[in-house]
């Protein structure tokens, strides 16, 4: 899948990019090239120190912004695979800076698509979010637009051998700006601010997010939105797991925030198939493959009529003790509640 291939990761210095690099170097020692494309030279410098050039000659570092189509196209020359992870993803940041969010998340997605088509890239997987499902905030709306762009890109490829698909998942455990590191930092103050006592979220580890991308690369026909079957947690249980001795202060839901997240609505379910460990939402318009083609390729079955996938009605849940074990495994090996 990746041996002897050149892979470019937009937003490659983020949480996902770092785990992706680690995984590729471990599983595919014969990878031809890994290109980190991002606009943060400090983060690139830190990663370069971890992977010195004399030991990891396959790593390349491109300073660039996905808004810059010309620079992005230059970076994509000779590339076989693109993982599009660059985004403005903080909900409140997007609400306050809407134009900047649109330029990065929508215009940037379109630039990735055109750069891929211009340079003959074969496989493109874009990272989405549960907030793109029935969005109520600008970040989710821009990622939904991005998802639609990547799915529709399969219809403009002409004779090119190229496949565009999307992966969508929930809150990544321990990623930058996520709730667990936030609570661990607040623990010393003795008070944990919680937006709402009934709030729930989907939970996935960085490694499982990377594994989902690998699955998409290895299995996509083009146009699918791949969604993992993952557990939910209650925000209140996160607080109990991190700092049971702390006082809980309910501060109210922030602008653009949902009480529960969802990844598949009942309307989406009409185009959703069950792949076993994953679901896939099929493209609303495809001139290349029929629904039967996707079903046969993935050895899948249709989900039941009226199915929906919501963090509040999920059938699988993390426990307080289970969350503590996950914190030790994925965030801080020395953690003790």
Condensed to tens digits (0 to 9), the pLDDT of residues 146-164 reads 999 999 999 999 889 999 9
Total number of domains in the chain: 1
Q: Three-state DSSP class for 176?
A: coil
Residue 177 lies in a domain: no
Q: pLDDT band for position 254 (50/70/90)?
A: confident
Question: Quick one: which H or E segment has residue 281?
Answer: strand 278-281
- CA-nearest of 283, 278, 330 to 309 is 278
Round to whole Å and give the CA distance between 13 and 181. Answer: 19
Say whether pLDDT at 117 is over 90: yes
CATH number at 18 reads 3.40.50.720
149 dihedral zone (left: phi>0; alpha: psi -120 to 50; beta):
alpha
Token pair, residue 154, equals 């399969």
Residue 318 lies in a domain: no
Predicted local confidence at residue 256, as pLDDT: 82
Between residues 79 and 256, which one has the greater pLDDT? 79
Predicted local confidence at residue 7, as pLDDT: 98
Say whether pLDDT at 178 is over 90: no
Interacting residues of 104 by C-beta distance below 8 A, sequence separation 6+: 65, 66, 67, 86, 87, 88
Its domain, for residue 142, covers 6-170+205-229+262-310
Say whether pLDDT at 53 is over 80: yes
Q: Do residues 109 and 149 lie in contact, with contact meaning Cβ atoms separated by under 8 Å? A: yes
Mean pLDDT of the chain: 95
Token pair, residue 87, equals 């985004």
Burial 55-73 (b: 16+ CB within 10 A, else e): eeebbebbebbbeebebbb
Residue 141 lies in a domain: yes
The 10s digit of each residue's pLDDT in 281-328 is 999 999 889 999 999 999 999 999 999 999 999 999 999 999 999 999
Residue 325 lies in a domain: no
Round to whole Å and give the CA distance between 320 and 151. Answer: 38
Q: Do residues 261 and 310 lie in contact, with contact meaning Cβ atoms separated by under 8 Å? A: yes
- CA-nearest of 69, 141, 155 to 106 is 141
Predicted local confidence at residue 257, as pLDDT: 87
Predicted local confidence at residue 1, as pLDDT: 79
Residue 182 lies in a domain: no
Predicted local confidence at residue 336, as pLDDT: 84
| Active site (catalytic) residues | 131
Q: Three-state DSSP class for 243?
A: coil
Neighbours of 22 (CB within 10 A): 15
Residue 140 lies in a domain: yes
Residue 132 lies in a domain: yes
- CA-nearest of 266, 165, 167 to 226 is 167
Round to whole Å and give the CA distance between 268 and 306. Answer: 9
Predicted local confidence at residue 175, as pLDDT: 80
Residue 286 lies in a domain: yes
Say whether pLDDT at 122 is over 90: yes
Predicted local confidence at residue 279, as pLDDT: 98
Share of the chain above pLDDT 70, in %: 100
The 10s digit of each residue's pLDDT in 195-241 is 999 999 999 999 999 999 999 999 999 999 999 999 999 999 999 99
* pTM of model > 0.75: yes
* Mean pLDDT, range 261-265, rounded to an integer: 96
Interacting residues of 82 by C-beta distance below 8 A, sequence separation 6+: 7, 8, 9, 10, 76, 112, 115, 116, 121, 123, 124, 125
Token pair, residue 56, equals 């990891």
- CA-nearest of 323, 129, 337 to 232 is 323
What's the count of helices (H) and strands (E) in the chain, helices before strands?
12, 17
Q: Pairing relation of β-strands 225-228 and 163-167? A: parallel
Share of the chain above pLDDT 90, in %: 90
Q: E strands within 11-86?
A: 33-38, 59-63, 81-84
Say whether pLDDT at 176 is over 80: no
Predicted local confidence at residue 174, as pLDDT: 78
């Amino acid at each position: 899948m990746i041996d002897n291939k050149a892979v470019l990761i937009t937003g490659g210095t983020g949480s996902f990019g770092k785990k992706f690099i680690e995984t590729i170097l471990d599983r595919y020692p014969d990878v031809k090239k890994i290109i980190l494309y991002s606009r943060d030279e400090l983060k690139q410098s830190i990663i370069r120190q971890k992977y010195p050039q004399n030991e990891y000659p396959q790593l390349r570092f491109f300073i660039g912004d996905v808004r810059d189509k010309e620079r992005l196209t230059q970076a994509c020359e000779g590339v076989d695979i693109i993982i599009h992870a660059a985004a403005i993803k903080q909900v409140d940041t997007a609400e306050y800076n809407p134009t900047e969010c649109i330029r990065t998340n929508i215009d940037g997605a379109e630039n990735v698509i055109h750069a891929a088509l211009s340079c003959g890239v074969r496989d493109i997987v874009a990272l989405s979010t549960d907030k793109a499902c029935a969005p109520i905030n600008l970040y989710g709306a821009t990622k939904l637009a991005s998802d639609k762009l990547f799915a529709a890109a399969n219809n403009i490829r002409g004779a090119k051998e190229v496949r565009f698909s999307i992966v969508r998942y929930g809150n990544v455990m321990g990623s930058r700006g996520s709730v667990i590191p936030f609570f661990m930092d607040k623990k010393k103050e003795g008070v944990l601010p919680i937006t709402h006592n009934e709030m729930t979220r989907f939970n996935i580890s960085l490694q499982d997010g990377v594994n989902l991308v690998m699955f998409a690369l290895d299995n996509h026909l083009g146009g699918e939105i791949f969604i993992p079957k993952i557990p939910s947690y209650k925000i209140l249980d996160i607080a109990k797991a991190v700092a049971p001795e702390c006082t809980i202060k309910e501060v109210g839901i922030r602008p653009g925030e949902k009480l529960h997240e969802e990844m598949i609505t009942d309307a989406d379910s009409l185009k959703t198939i069950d792949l076993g460990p994953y679901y896939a939402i099929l493209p609303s318009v495809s001139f290349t493959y029929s629904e039967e083609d996707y079903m046969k390729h993935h050895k899948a079955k249709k989900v039941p009529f009226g199915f929906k996938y919501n963090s509040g009605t999920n059938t699988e849940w993390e426990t307080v003790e289970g969350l503590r074990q996950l914190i030790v495994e994925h965030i801080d090996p020395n953690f003790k509640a």
